[in-house]
Structure 1
Amino acid sequence: MIGTTRPLVGTGVLLKATLRHELKRFIPWIAIVTMLSTSSILAYAWMFPHREDRAVLDATIGGNPALGLIFGPARNLYTNEGFNTWRAFALGGFLTGIAAIFAVTKATRGQEDSGQAELLASGAMGRGARLAVAVLLGIIGSTLVGVVTALCTLLCGAEADATLLLAATFTATGWMMSAVAAVAAQLGSTARAANTLAVSTLSVLFILRGFLLSLEAPAWTNWANPLGWLDETRPATDNHWWPLLYALVFTLIVTAVAFGLSSGRDFGQGIIPSQPGSAHGSLRGVEGLIWRLNKAPAFTWVIAFVALGVIFGYFIGSVKDLLASSPAMAAMMAGGAVDPAQLVNNFAVTMLSMLGIIAAIPGVQVVLRIVSEENSQRIEPILTGGISRLRYCAVTLAAAAATSTMCLLTAGVLVAWLSSRADIGLSFLDVFIQAAVTSVATWPIIGIAAVVVGVRPRFAIAAWVGVLESFSITIFGPTFKAPDWTMAFSPFHHIPHVMESDAHGWGVLGLLVVSALLCVIGCSAFNRRDIGVG
């Protein structure tokens, strides 16, 4: 391997090539974040034309810490820009951060895993060039997210100050997560491990910010969280630009740490070494293989759902205080409840549905593991060794459904326990059964991912359509007064309220039929198409 004493030599040439091939991966993320912002501006005046409507919206959202957990505090819902800030600030930043993480990891550890990095290193290229290009890719892509979102939102009629600042927070989040991903790429032994480390870091920071803001924790807790710095910008109210400087400093410092770690690790290895396998073979068939491939991320998700179960259980346990402080919020969230007991029941169902949407994520990840194994050319030896494609696909889908169900039931146990101890009229058994029934709604989402993998694995990002659709309809549908036919597109809309006397299982039966149909289509398509072509 040809070396050079200049660590960044070749950065410019490699950056041009990388942008030409990899920048397009930001396009779906740019589209999603842009639609999130522009739809808020376009829909606000139509859905809430009168001040009375906006007052109800303010009481509904402002008094609901569960929504604050995801979207952050609602500081000004009487203007287009204030509503857009509440709806897009936290999610837009989170999505931009995810995009940056995936881009940086692919351009660092992803290249090492695939062998591309060794080919690049054999030329006249400095040791730090690839890492510098990866971070710059994340920074440029995140900047594009902010610029495109700002321009499109301004064209929809938004005011400039709040809109530009809001878009800048998206970019700043992407910058910080680019640096975090650069560090994770040095720590993880594989690209998958690096992605897990970086995404877990972002998710923990995201949940902690929302949880502490919902609890109205002391101000210093917000300053202890890098994502909390961006919350201090307060678009559409105070419009502070100076907290963005903290994000810039964070990016520079953490990137410097990444370069320091890079200089001290072996090529192709992570600072955190991978654990050696068992001295004796224990895999028995494709079932054991699928379990081995997915058990580590599954256990990680279960641990995460323990924390989520405590958080959501706390919110459900405090429902009486919420109802007392904000009757309008209770009425909208409950969607037609007529008495306090039914209000509490429907609130619990809403919270469990939110947990269900999150639980669908690890299930989709398991399905997408087929694509990653296929791209790494590890699946062909398995399929040529007597394992049928249908069996491989079916076992993977079963593992995906089991993972999502296990995650939701883990959280469901804690939610049920905390709810039953809160003296709000909910029993442990009722809440746990509701959580178990809700897990069925994750299966059609997994089925959608199966169809994408079976028909067009090249467009694997489309596997997340089910998660995005369910989240958008379930969370935003009631706020925007969506009609029943629109709400019906979310599988969580068909989950029965088992705590009600007139509950029936037709919705669950329908979800089972749809799930089975989607999985059959996905497996059949996977069985017919060429491996490595899609």
Structure 2
Amino acid sequence: MSTLTGTRHLVRLILRRDRIVLPLWVLPLAVLPMTYATSFFELFPTAADRAAYAAGTARNPSIVALLGPVYGESVGALTAQRGGFLLVIIALATLLTAVRHTRTEEEAGRHELLAGGVLGRYAALTAALLVTYAASLLLGLLTAAGLVAAGLPTAGSLAYGLGVTLTGVVFATLGGLAAQLTESAGGARGIGIAALGLAFALRLAGDAGRHEWLSWLSPLGWAARVRPYEGERWWVLLLPPAATVALAAVAYPLSVRRDLGAGLLPPRLGPAGAGRALTGPFGLAWRLHRGQLLWWSVGFGLLGLILGGAAKAAGRSVEGNPQLEEILARMGGTTALSEAYLGATLSLAGLAAAGYAVQAALRMRSEEAAGRAEPLLATGTHRSAWLASHLVFALLGPVVVLAVTGFATGLTYGLSVRDVPGELPRLLAAGLAQVPAAWVLAGLAVLLYGLLPRLAPLVWAALAACVLLGQLGPVLRLDQWLLDLSPFTHTPQVLRPAWDATPLWALTVLAVVLAAVGLTGFRRRDLPIG
């Protein structure tokens, strides 16, 4: 029997299971760069406009830290820089996909069942990586095709698309390696995300500081250094395959030398007896959610520091461009450019916080599918109490992370304009104003889980639609009825001198109704979901 026997069948199984999940992140990420290019053509029609924008961007270390360097004044160069942060999202998506189809399958016991048949030693890891590589390739090709369709040169578009593909390939392989190091899927995700955070920190320090060599140490910095549309340096694209081979050379031997279900790192043993905090469902939910909440809060805090530091210069960089001023005003709700920028970026933070809310709400489904909920509910634990214990984090988690974001943003922006007492409360309120819209997505997740649990992951499609409407709506000037489908459209513009809190109450009531219907359905249906 070959070491790869059964790989083809596992690939088909993964594609079958991910037929909804993969398009949910591949298609939106492929569309966004094309929309960036289209908007730059419209907003900066002359070379002088583009030069002024590029110069303002290059002088702002916060923007460079977040997006990466800008290497030219063409629409292509501006588009490549604007899509710099997308590489972080792509890296995270491919890393989590690889972990889900390796360590998660092993932890759930499904891999052991398959391995009892005719399955080669390397088949499981290879199948997971092949599917993730193929998704990355498709993403890169669609991205390049979209950029060409937007009117950008073919060579630069291909260079950018290859950078996207190879970034995904590197971090997919990193996810495959992380899956070999620990016996839990959560631990593997933690190791992978920590490595991604280190890569982002190296890229940030190299791009925003005086030590550019640090960016060459980060896989997130290689795609930008290909310099799409500005004299492409194709040789840089040799670095990601080299890193992929090095990571795979470690991951594959570990996958067969360790015991099934075990990891290279020894498990951290807990106490022999459970503490008082674990005597109820809320204590167990806290144990399950606390690490995720901590790291989301840290990440949002760092993001807020960067966004607040960039606000003042971002407002100056678009001054005099009426089209861009109009778009920022529609997204941020005010004609003051710095405040419009802050409103727009905090709206993006709200969308990201909704992602946390959805993830926390869907933890109930994963607990039930893994068979851990049924034994717990067989005790004196009531269904309502168990669901409420997870719902607490789906509702309070966005409050925490958006409060951290608003506080950090207000602090750094207040320092830049020398008015911390005045700006910090305003931006803290603007961050918290995004919470009810995030609650609506959490309520929708609970509704689907309670009534149609197999369809619960479709809430990610609803979140993706909100992202696309929020990002593309102001640029494409979509009809208002279409924009109104997103709950974030109804979030009031808190940075305006006068604003109405009625939409916040309406969104909160909607979220409560959705969650209540979901709870009713959960109490009446059978377990497990199978």
The 1-side partners of 2:116 and 2:85 are apart by 42
**Cα distance change, pair 478–297 in 1 and its aligned pair in 2 (3 A):** same
**Residue from 286, 289, 292 that aligns with 1:294:** 289
1:395 aligns with 2:396: no
Equivalent position of 1:323 in the other structure = 315
Q: Which amino acid aligns with 1:488?
A: D
Alpha-carbon deviation of 1:212? 5.6
The question of whether the paired residues in 1 share the 8 Å contact of 2:411 and 2:424 is answered with: yes
1:242 CA drift (Å): 1.9
The runs of 5 or more residues in structure 1 that have no matched partner are 1-8
Root-mean-square deviation (CA), in Å? 3.8
1:415-436 deviation per Cα after TM superposition (whole angstroms, max 9, x unaligned): 2333333335443322223323
Q: Give the 3 Å change call, closer, same or farther, for CA 232–40 of structure 1 in structure 2.
A: closer
Secondary structure of 1:189 counterpart? coil
Q: Equivalent of 2:180, from 161, 176, 186?
A: 186
- 1:353 maps to what in 2? 347
The 1:490/1:205 distance shift into structure 2, 3 A limit, reads: farther
Q: Given the alignment, which residue of 240, 244, 269 partners 2:237?
A: 244
Q: What TM-score, normalized to structure 1?
A: 0.83
Aligned partner of 1:277 among 236, 258, 270? 270
- Please show how residues 361-510 of structure 1 align to structure 2 within 5 Å: 361-425=355-419, 426-510=422-506
Query: Aligned pair in 2 of structure 1 residues 246, 366: CA closer, same or farther (>3 Å)?
Result: same
- Deviations 1:401-450 (CA, angstroms, capped at 9, x unpaired): 11121122223333233333333544332222332333333211222322
Q: Where do 1:140-151 residues align within 5 Å?
A: 140-147=134-141
Distance 1:277 1:72, change over 3 A: same
Look up the equivalent residue of 1:417 and give its one-letter code: L
Mean Cα displacement is larger for which, 275-284 or 441-450?
275-284
User: Contact conserved, 1:10 with 1:129, CA < 8 A, in 2?
Assistant: no
Q: Label 1:149 to 1:336 Cα distance change in 2 as closer, same or farther (>3 A).
A: closer
Which residues in structure 2 correspond to 1:125-164 (within 5 Å)?
A: 127-147=121-141, 160-164=154-158
Cα distance change of structure 1 residues 150 and 355 upon mapping to structure 2, 3 Å threshold? closer
> What is the TM-score of this pair, normalised by structure 2?
0.83
**Quick one: distance in 1 between partners of 2:261 and 2:331?**
58
**How far off is 1:377 after superposition?**
1.0
Task: Select between 245-254 and 186-195 the one with higher mean Cα deviation.
Answer: 186-195
1:220 pairs with 213, 236, 240, which one?
213
CA distance in 2, matches of 1:370, 1:336: 37
State the distance in 1 between where 2:46 and 2:473 align.
16
1:305 matched to 2:300? The reply is yes
Identical residues among aligned pairs (%): 27
| Residues 247 and 180 (structure 1), Cα distance of their counterparts in 2 relative to 1, 3 Å cut | same
Equivalent residue for 1:197? 191
Per-residue deviation, residues 5-38 of structure 1 (Å, max 9, x unmatched): xxxx533322111111013426643464345545
Q: Which runs of 5+ in 2 are unaligned?
A: none
1:263 deviates by 5.5
- Aligned partners of 2:204 and 2:476: how far apart in 1? 22
Q: Could you say what secondary structure the match of 2:381 adopts?
A: coil
SS at 2:102's partner residue? helix
Aligned mates of 2:34, 2:127 — CA distance in 1: 36
User: In structure 2, the residue corresponding to 1:477 is in which secondary structure?
Assistant: helix
**Residue identity in the other structure for 1:324:** R
Match in the other structure for 1:5: none
Matching of residue 516 in structure 1 with residue 509 in structure 2: no
Q: How does 1:16-55 map to 2 (within 5 A)?
A: 16-24=8-16, 25=18, 28-30=21-23, 32-34=25-27, 36-37=29-30, 41=34, 48=41, 52=45
